[in-house]
């Protein structure tokens, strides 16, 4: 991403759109707020993560803008979907081999490389949102997006990633009931919503009643409580980014919740700026044409929902929603520019 950012920021089309500038400004507010914790808690990991988070958000926005504004948005989406298809197929192959051993637990994919179930699940969850919405600027036929959606959902079911299921439940529901969309989608997807809610509910209930205090649900509850104790050390400015890599606390884990992670790292000030970044960006995207604004809006919603029970600041999952936002805004700006050029040409032709 850093390598792509350098030519993108130097060579991208200018001026940037008003919408992109507004979201970049919101990112700047978040960076300023987290700079306070960097100053209050000086460490190498703290400084490095501050630049890292800025690149994941603003860097991804600029790279996405540069690619799509230059007319390569559909190609970028196609390459991403090819990569996700490989991961989905690898997940199903791993599932088949695991089920053959009569092991029906969560699948940790081994192909094309070993990965955690929640990485594969959340990544394919974001890809599912993109396949389901399939905006016109993708240039895809509905049948292709339907096949991809089915493949991704099957792979997510194999991983049993509850974070991915929760994100999809919220997105599918919002898209179906939302009035301002680019086109209406079938309400049949609500059956997927009901099934996912049932599966997640049963899995959580079983773990709560199991008596095993080391399963994922019980462990998260313990981590939440321990994280609150860390946050109380400095409620306003937090104890520093990547504090779990230091020796300051006995707890050495990244909190599996976006808001709690920000609270511990950057305090109340940082959390306020984080919420402003997300909900401010959603407000910007809601105001543009749904043909371009609905996709990045729902990808942000999906990622925020996933991060209620998952790590937030991880490179791929953290950067992808902003990259998609940059792509959509770049595609929107390109379409507006071409429309204006067409109108100008027609006016000149009329005068002649």
Report how far residue 333's alpha carbon sits from residue 314's, in angstroms, rounded to the nearest whole number.
Answer: 29
Question: Hey, what are 67's tokens?
Answer: 């690619």
pLDDT in tens, 271-330: 999 999 999 999 999 999 999 999 999 999 999 999 998 888 877 889 999 999 999 999
Run of H or E residues at 116: none
pLDDT in tens, 238-254: 999 989 888 888 888 88
More reliable by pLDDT, 311 or 125? 125
Residue 137's pLDDT band, with cuts at 50, 70 and 90, is: very high
pTM of the model: 0.93
Run of H or E residues at 136: none
Q: What average pLDDT does the chain have?
A: 91
Average pLDDT over residues 57-84: 97
- For residue 220, give Cα distances in angstroms to 70, 136, 284: 44, 40, 33
307: helix, strand or coil:
coil
More reliable by pLDDT, 349 or 258? 258
pLDDT in tens, 205-242: 766 566 666 666 777 888 888 999 999 999 999 999 98
Q: Taking the CB of residue 70, how many other CB atoms lie within 10 A of it? A: 14
Report how far residue 26's alpha carbon sits from residue 18's, in angstroms, rounded to the nearest whole number.
Answer: 12
- Overall residue count recorded for the chain in this entry: 352
pLDDT at 212: 63
Nearest-5° Cα angle at 156, 72 to 213: 130
DSSP code string of 215-271: SHHHHHHHHHHHHHHHHTTSTTT-S-TTGGGSSS-S--S--SSHHHHHHHHHHHHHH
123 has a pLDDT exceeding 90: yes
Question: Hey, what are 143's tokens?
Answer: 């049948």
List Cβ neighbours of 192 (8 Å cut-off, separation of 6 or more).
153, 168, 172
List Cβ neighbours of 226 (8 Å cut-off, separation of 6 or more).
251, 253
Q: What DSSP designation does 22 have?
A: H
**Cα-Cα-Cα-Cα dihedral sign, residues 95, 161, 189, 135:** negative
pLDDT at 191: 78
Q: Is residue 60 within 8 Å of residue 33, measured between CB atoms?
A: no
Average pLDDT over residues 9-29: 95
Q: Is residue 38 within 8 Å of residue 47, measured between CB atoms?
A: yes
Average pLDDT over residues 39-67: 94
Average pLDDT over residues 9-22: 94
Run of H or E residues at 326: helix 315-351
pLDDT at 342: 85
Q: Is residue 314 within 8 Å of residue 118, measured between CB atoms?
A: no
Alpha carbon dihedral 274, 277, 279, 284, in 10-degree steps, equals 180
More reliable by pLDDT, 250 or 62? 62
pLDDT at 122: 95
pLDDT in tens, 166-220: 999 999 999 988 877 777 777 777 777 777 778 777 766 766 566 666 666 777 8
Nearest-5° Cα angle at 58, 52 to 64: 115
Highest-scoring range by mean pLDDT, 112-116, 142-146, 201-205: 112-116
pLDDT at 183: 76
């Amino acid at each position: 991403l850093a390598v792509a950012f350098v030519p993108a920021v130097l060579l991208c089309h200018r001026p940037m759109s008003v919408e992109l500038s507004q979201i970049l400004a919101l990112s700047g507010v978040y960076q300023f707020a987290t700079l306070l914790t960097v100053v209050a808690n000086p460490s190498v990991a703290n400084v490095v993560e501050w630049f890292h988070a800025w690149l994941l958000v603003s860097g991804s926005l600029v790279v996405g803008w540069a690619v799509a504004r230059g007319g390569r948005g559909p190609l970028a989406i196609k390459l991403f979907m090819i990569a996700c298809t490989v991961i989905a197929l690898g997940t199903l192959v791993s599932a088949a081999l695991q089920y053959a051993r009569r092991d029906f637990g969560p699948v940790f994919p081994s192909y094309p490389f070993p990965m955690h179930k929640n990485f594969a699940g959340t990544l394919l969850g974001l890809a599912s949102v993109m396949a389901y919405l399939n905006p016109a600027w993708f240039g895809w036929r509905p049948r292709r997006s339907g096949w991809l959606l089915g493949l991704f959902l099957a792979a997510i079911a194999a991983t049993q990633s509850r974070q991915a299921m929760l994100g999809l439940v919220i997105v599918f529901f919002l898209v179906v009931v939302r009035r301002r969309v680019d086109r209406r989608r079938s309400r049949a997807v609500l059956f997927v919503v009901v099934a996912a809610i049932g599966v997640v509910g049963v899995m959580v209930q079983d773990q709560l009643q199991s008596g095993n205090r080391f399963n994922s649900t019980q462990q998260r509850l313990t981590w939440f409580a321990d994280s609150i104790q860390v946050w109380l050390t400095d409620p306003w400015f937090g104890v520093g980014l990547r504090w779990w890599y230091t020796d300051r606390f006995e707890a050495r884990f990244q909190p599996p919740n976006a808001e709690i992670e920000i609270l511990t790292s950057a305090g109340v000030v940082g959390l306020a700026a984080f919420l402003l970044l997300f909900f401010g960006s959603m407000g910007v995207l809601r105001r543009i044409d749904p043909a371009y604004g609905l996709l990045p809006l729902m990808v942000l919603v999906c990622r925020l929902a996933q991060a209620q029970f998952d790590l937030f600041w991880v490179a791929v999952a953290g950067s992808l929603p902003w990259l998609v936002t940059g792509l959509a805004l770049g595609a929107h700006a390109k379409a507006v520019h071409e429309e204006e050029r067409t109108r100008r040409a027609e006016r000149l032709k009329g005068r002649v």
